[in-house]
Structure 1
Amino acid sequence: MPTVLSLPQPVIDLWRSQQALAKHYSHTGLKFTLDGRLVGDIAEALALEHFDLSLPAKRTKGVDAMTASGDSVQVKASGLKNAGPAFTPGTGIARYLLFFYFDFPAGLATILYNGLEAPVRAQLLPKEWTGTRVVNLAALRDLAHELGDANALPLKKQTVIP
């Protein structure tokens, strides 16, 4: 079963502001979406807050955090209901992968994948590709269910789940 966390109030406030901005400029057709780097940084901050992780001494593409034992972790996120994590070839490969889905209106972050990154790469990505590939979300959920929690990173003990 996926882990669900509450989003911090500043993230909820940011989403509300984004919604107000989009509404104010609705006549332009612009959406002002929360995506890309901002959503990724929010996910990394949540991972650092709720897991026993630290930032790596030197930032490397594909490695966002380190476990206490020195294993690498990649953190990915999406605020889109049907989008899995996006991967780019040629970047670093982490030992673990955390994938968050943000339900901004509900103020929740659901960890849809918490485990080894290798099975995701081996089973859900082509052997070779160019550009950015988004992993099929249903397939990711199935893989997470199949793998279970055996290789999941543990939450910090003080983490409160709503």
Structure 2
Amino acid sequence: MSLSSDPITIPEAVKQLLGIVQRLHRAFPHKAFTLDGRLVGDLGEVLVEQMYDLTLLEGLQKHYDAKTPDGKHVQIKATMKANVTFPVDHTPDYYLAVKIHPDGRLEEIFNGPGSIVREQIKGRKATKTNLHSISIGALRKVQGEVKATEKISLRR
């Protein structure tokens, strides 16, 4: 079975992926880029750090991924699909959701106070994963409520 029209075996694909992961880790040693479901998240965090005026936290932190220059906590969520997650048990100062397209392009979906997203999911019951799924479409709608002064700035 192949992954595309270009024949490749699963072992070959895994070897190539692991080679890429090793290269990414050497370039960005503060992220693991594991293939266990965190790969898209780690890629998103690195792309966001390069694009926005924030600093990633070292390793895995419980509720936040980065800090702004003035010390505000940022939760970053990246996807290649139609949904992202939002925490059940806390509201980050800032929430930054992005979509990574197959060509590697990063699209901002939501950039603003976590309280705006929290308002969209209020009333939902807690989940086993402690995360609520929220559609990109829903986030795009509420992005219009965010003032320019409430967004994390792009790097200069």
Fold match (TM-score > 0.5):
yes
Q: How many residues align?
A: 129
Q: Give 2:97's aligned residue.
A: 99
Segments of 4+ moved more than 6 angstroms: none
Given that 1:35 and 1:78 are in contact with CA atoms closer than 8 Å, whether structure 2 keeps it comes out as: no
- Runs of 5+ consecutive residues of structure 2 not aligned to the other structure: 11-16, 18-34
Structure 1's 122 and 23: CA in aligned 2 closer, same or farther, altered over 3 A?
A: farther
Residue 123 of structure 2, aligned match among 93, 117, 126: 126
Percent of pairs with identical residues: 29
User: Quick one: which amino acid aligns to residue 111 of structure 1?
Assistant: E
RMSD between aligned alpha carbons?
A: 2.9
Mapped partners of 2:44, 2:145: distance in 1: 24
The residue identity in structure 2 corresponding to 1:137 is: I
Q: Is 1:89 paired with 2:88?
A: yes
- How far the C-alpha of 1:123 sits from its partner, in A, is 1.7
Aligned to 1:138: 137
CA deviations over 1:81-133 (Å, ceiling 9, x no partner): x22x213433x5320011110111x2211011111111101223535412332
Q: Residue 44 of structure 1 aligns with which residue?
A: 45
Instruction: Report the TM-score, using the length of structure 2 for normalisation.
Output: 0.69
Distance 1:65 1:124 in 2: 23
Q: TM-score, normalised by structure 1?
A: 0.67
Bigger relative contact order (CA 8 A; separation at least 6): 1
Q: 1:35 to 1:151 in 2, by over 3 A?
A: farther
